[in-house]
C-alpha cells in the first residue's frame, strides 16, 4: 500500500466501541448512532469509501433483556449477543435509511478470514459493497465464535477485527473511536500528570506497560487491545487514529487534517506525503 496522508485518504475503516454506543446506564446511545449514520453517509456522498466495524451486540442485548452486567457463561453471552446484534443492526439500518443510505451487515469469524477461499470471498463482498456505494457494517459473529485450541474462530475483540478489516480492504486509514481522547502515558482518570501522545511511530515496551487495564463493563477492549491493533497497522505500513467517539462527527475534523487523538503511523509518514 502506498503511503497516504490523512487529507488524501479515500478508503477508511471506522471502528466504534461499545462505550460509544451504550450509555453508562446501559441504554443504547441513539444520538451517537444517528450522528454516526449522518457522518458516514455524508462521507460516502463526498466520495469516500467507508466501512464501519461496530461493537455493541452484547451491550444492546443486555439492554433488551434488562440486565446490568455481562453473563458469566459463554453460551449465555452468545445468546445475549444474538439478541443484541439484531437490535443494533435494526437501529443502524433505520438511521442510515433516514439519510437515504443503504447499509449491509457482514458478520465474520476468524476461521473465515484464515482460509484462503473464504478470505477471498470476504474481500470480494466488501469490494462489491463499496463499489455499490453501500456501507458495510461489520461485527464479529459473537453467537457462534469460540476460542478453543481445536476451533479458533474468535478475533479476540473488535479492535483486532477492525485492523484485520483494514488489511482485507486495503484501507488507507483506520479511525478507532473509543471513550478516551487518545493514548496517554498513564491512565488520565487516575494520574493528573498523564500526557496525551499525539503521534506514536513504534510500539515500545514502555507504551505496552502504560496500556494496562480492561475495557468497560459492556465491552471487551482496553488500551492494550488498541496497541495490538496498532501493531497490525504498523505491520502493513498503514496508519490509525485513536480518538474520542462521544461525537462521531469528529471524523470530519480528522479527515480535514486537524490534530486530534493519537496518530499511529511510521516515521516515514509526513504531513506532505
Q: Is 10 annotated as a binding residue?
A: no
d(C-alpha 60, C-alpha 268), whole Å: 41
Q: How far is CA 23 from CA 17, 38, 55, 65, 246, in A?
A: 12, 19, 13, 15, 10
Q: Is 221 annotated as a binding residue?
A: yes
Q: Is 15 annotated as a binding residue?
A: yes
Contact (Cβ atoms closer than 8 angstroms) between residue 250 and residue 260? yes
Buried b (16+ CB within 10 A) or exposed e, 118-136: eeeebeeebeebbeeebbb
Q: Spell out the long-range contacts of 88-91 with Cβ–Cβ below 8 A and sequence spacing 24 or more.
A: 88/21, 88/28, 88/54, 88/56, 88/57, 88/60, 88/139, 89/137, 91/28, 91/30, 91/33
Q: Is 266 annotated as a binding residue?
A: no
Q: Is 55 annotated as a binding residue?
A: yes
Q: Is 202 annotated as a binding residue?
A: no
Q: Is 226 annotated as a binding residue?
A: yes
Q: Is 244 annotated as a binding residue?
A: no
Q: Is 228 annotated as a binding residue?
A: no
Residue with cell 496518530: 263
CB neighbour list of residue 152: distance below 8 Å, 6 or more residues apart: 110, 111, 146
DSSP category for residue 149? T
Buried b (16+ CB within 10 A) or exposed e, 51-85: bbbbbbbbbbbbbeeeeeebbeeeeebbbbbbbbb
Q: Is 225 annotated as a binding residue?
A: yes
Q: Is 179 annotated as a binding residue?
A: yes
Give strand pairing partners of 197.
183
Binding-site residues from annotation:
15, 55, 142, 158, 178-179, 220-226
Binding-site residues from annotation for ATP:
15, 178-179, 220-226
Binding-site residues from annotation for substrate:
55, 142, 158
Amino acid at each position: 500500500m502506498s503511503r497516504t496522508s490523512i487529507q488524501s485518504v479515500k478508503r477508511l475503516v471506522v471502528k466504534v466501541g461499545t462505550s460509544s454506543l451504550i450509555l453508562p446506564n446501559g441504554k443504547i446511545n441513539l444520538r451517537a448512532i444517528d450522528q454516526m449514520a449522518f457522518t458516514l453517509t455524508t462521507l460516502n456522498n463526498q466520495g469516500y469509501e467507508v466501512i464501519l466495524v461496530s461493537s455493541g451486540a452484547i451491550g444492546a442485548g443486555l439492554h433488551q433483556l434488562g440486565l446490568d452486567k455481562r453473563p458469566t457463561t459463554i453460551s449465555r453471552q452468545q445468546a445475549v449477543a444474538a439478541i443484541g446484534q439484531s437490535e443494533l443492526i435494526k437501529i443502524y439500518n433505520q438511521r442510515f435509511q433516514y439519510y437515504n443510505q443503504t447499509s449491509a451487515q457482514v458478520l465474520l469469524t476468524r476461521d473465515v478470514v484464515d482460509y484462503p477461499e473464504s478470505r477471498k470471498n470476504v474481500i470480494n463482498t466488501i469490494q462489491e459493497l463499496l463499489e455499490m456505494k453501500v456501507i458495510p457494517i461489520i461485527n464479529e459473529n459473537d453467537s457462534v465464535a469460540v476460542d478453543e485450541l481445536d476451533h479458533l474462530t474468535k478475533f479476540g475483540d473488535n479492535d483486532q477485527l477492525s485492523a484485520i478489516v483494514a488489511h482485507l480492504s486495503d484501507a488507507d486509514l483506520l479511525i478507532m473511536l473509543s471513550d478516551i481522547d487518545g493514548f496517554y502515558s498513564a491512565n488520565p482518570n487516575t494520574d493528573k500528570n498523564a500526557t496525551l501522545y499525539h503521534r506514536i511511530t513504534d510500539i515500545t515496551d514502555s507504551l505496552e506497560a502504560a496500556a494496562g487495564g480492561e475495557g468497560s463493563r459492556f465491552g471487551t477492549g482496553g488500551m492494550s487491545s488498541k496497541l495490538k491493533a496498532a501493531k497490525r497497522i504498523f505491520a502493513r505500513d498503514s496508519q490509525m487514529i485513536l480518538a474520542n467517539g462521544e461525537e462521531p462527527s469528529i471524523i470530519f475534523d480528522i479527515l480535514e487534517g486537524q490534530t486530534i487523538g493519537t496518530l499511529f503511523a511510521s516515521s516515514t509518514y509526513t504531513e506532505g506525503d
